[in-house]
């Protein structure tokens, strides 16, 4: 019985174990059936021999004795083959269960690693946003516009913001707000004509930035669609603008930067390293701490769907849900000084078709 290829060595995976177990079970069943068929034919021959011996009378008695022994042997072989069939079925069933458990564990662990990789990439990306906003809040043009919001300082600040935006294409817009929350300058006045003069006093990111202790601190808002920016999804980071650009200077305004969430997040979830076969049944997601879906590799449900993760208090893990899907997740570990917002990377893989 040859169960392996002589050309190339197959990958040593749990799936390969299952494949070999199934092939071995098939071969064993075929051989047991052949033995049982031979045994049946032997018993028929024994019966025919017994009948012939009986017709021969005394001359057939020795032949009848041999036929009887052949019958007994056939019965014994049938018993042994039946026991072997039952034991082999049980053994191969147990082997398949072990193989399936191994395959599920290996697959789940791999998907958890991919979920971690996705959330780490987005964390590193957003860490850079926290650095950007704290840096630009100290820019001389930004500080001057917040300190003395005249026509000249605002015009210069907007030209400066436009230069930044031309280099940092991941942003939709950059806003300079006074202490009252009024937007006094921004980087794309030609594109977003209604932004200047709007109030963000009620926005959490503005209030939190206004209350920060030093220029080393920042605030952040959950991903949401921004009406002032054409309804695009944004991740907003903010930092206080301080007098003189000093780290402990008096707060004179707030700098808000709007990260263009959609394209950047989509590139992360669609870039998860899945095989072509896996992509047919697997969806990669970014999910916030409340289960709201922030991005999906299939483009369905972003900012509208909620996912109920069964984490059981774990930062990472995998499980099979009530629909038979394999769910793998990993909570944000943060990056450098950015602790993250409790988001998760998640992989959903549909159940394989029934055998």
> What's the CATH number where 81 sits?
1.10.287.950
Residues 46, 165: one domain? no
Query: How is residue 152 written in tokens?
Result: 């000249």
Residue 44 belongs to a domain? yes
Decide if 321 is inside a domain: no
- Looking at residue 61, what is its pLDDT? 72
Angle at 122 between CA 292 and CA 162, to 5 degrees: 105
Q: What is the mean pLDDT of the chain?
A: 87
Please calculate the CA angle 106-109-114 and round it to the nearest 5 degrees. 125
Per-residue tokens: 104: 């599920």
Same domain, 83 and 179: no
In a domain, 8, yes or no: no
Q: What is the pLDDT of residue 93?
A: 77
CATH classification of the domain holding 237: 3.30.450.20
Tell me which of 264, 279, 311 is where a domain ends: 264
| CB 195 within 8 Å of CB 173 | yes
Query: What is the C-alpha separation between 135 and 20, in angstroms, rounded?
Result: 60
Check residue 17 and give its pLDDT: 66
Domain boundary among 264, 292, 310: 264
User: What pLDDT, on a 0 to 100 scale, did the predictor assign at position 14?
Assistant: 63
Length of the chain: 355
Q: What is the DSSP letter of 156?
A: H
Threshold 0.85, pTM exceeds: no
Tell me which of 65 and 314 has the higher pLDDT: 314
* Domain shared by 100 and 141, yes or no: no
Task: Give the distance, in angstroms, between the CA of residue 31 and the centroid of all CA atoms in the same chain.
Answer: 44
Partners of 173 in the β-ladder: 258
Does 89 share its domain with 195?
no
Same domain for 252 and 149? yes
With 50 as the cut, is the pLDDT of residue 325 above it? yes
Domain boundary among 234, 264, 294: 264
- Domain for residue 126, yes or no? no
CA distances from 104 to 31, 92, 282, 349, 352 (A): 31, 18, 15, 11, 11
Domain annotation covers residue 290: no
Residues 6+ apart with CB under 8 A from 76: none
User: Is the residue at 313 inside a domain?
Assistant: no
Please give the tally of structural domains in the chain.
2
Domain ranges, residue 224: 137-264
Task: Give the pLDDT confidence of 190-244 residue by residue, as tens digits.
Answer: 999 999 999 999 999 999 999 999 999 999 998 999 999 999 999 999 999 999 9
Task: Quote the CA–CA distance of 74 and 7 in Å, as a whole number.
Answer: 42
């Amino acid at each position: 019985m040859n169960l392996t290829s002589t050309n190339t060595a197959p990958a040593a995976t749990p799936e390969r174990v299952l494949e070999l177990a199934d092939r071995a079970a098939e071969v064993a069943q075929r051989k047991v059936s052949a033995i049982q068929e031979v045994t049946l034919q032997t018993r028929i021959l024994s019966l025919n021999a017994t009948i012939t011996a009986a017709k021969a009378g005394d001359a057939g008695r020795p032949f009848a004795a041999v036929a009887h022994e052949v019958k007994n042997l056939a019965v014994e072989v049938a018993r042994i083959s039946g026991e072997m069939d039952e034991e082999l079925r049980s053994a191969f069933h147990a082997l398949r269960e072990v193989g399936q458990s191994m395959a599920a564990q290996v697959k789940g662990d791999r998907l958890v690693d991919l979920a971690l990789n996705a959330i780490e990439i987005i964390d590193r990306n957003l860490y850079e946003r926290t650095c950007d906003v704290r840096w630009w809040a100290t820019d001389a043009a930004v500080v001057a516009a917040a300190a003395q919001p005249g026509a000249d300082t605002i015009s210069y600040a907007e030209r400066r913001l436009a230069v930044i935006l031309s280099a940092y294409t991941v942003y939709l817009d950059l806003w300079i707000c006074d202490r009252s929350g009024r937007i006094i300058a921004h980087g794309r006045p030609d594109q977003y004509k209604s932004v200047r003069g709007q109030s963000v006093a009620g926005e959490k990111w503005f209030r939190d930035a206004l209350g920060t202790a030093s220029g080393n601190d920042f605030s952040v808002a959950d991903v949401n669609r921004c009406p002032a920016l054409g309804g695009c999804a944004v991740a907003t980071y903010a930092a206080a603008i301080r007098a003189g650009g000093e780290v402990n200077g008096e707060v004179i305004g707030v700098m808000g930067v709007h990260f263009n969430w959609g394209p950047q997040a989509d590139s992360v979830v669609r870039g998860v390293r899945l095989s072509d076969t896996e992509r047919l049944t697997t969806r990669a997601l970014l999910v916030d701490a409340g289960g709201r879906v922030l991005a999906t590799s299939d483009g369905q449900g972003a900012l509208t769907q909620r996912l109920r993760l069964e984490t059981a208090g774990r930062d990472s893990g995998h499980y099979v849900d009530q629909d038979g899907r394999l769910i793998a997740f990993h909570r944000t570990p943060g990056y450098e000084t950015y602790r993250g917002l409790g988001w998760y990377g998640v992989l959903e893989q549909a159940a394989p078709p029934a055998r």
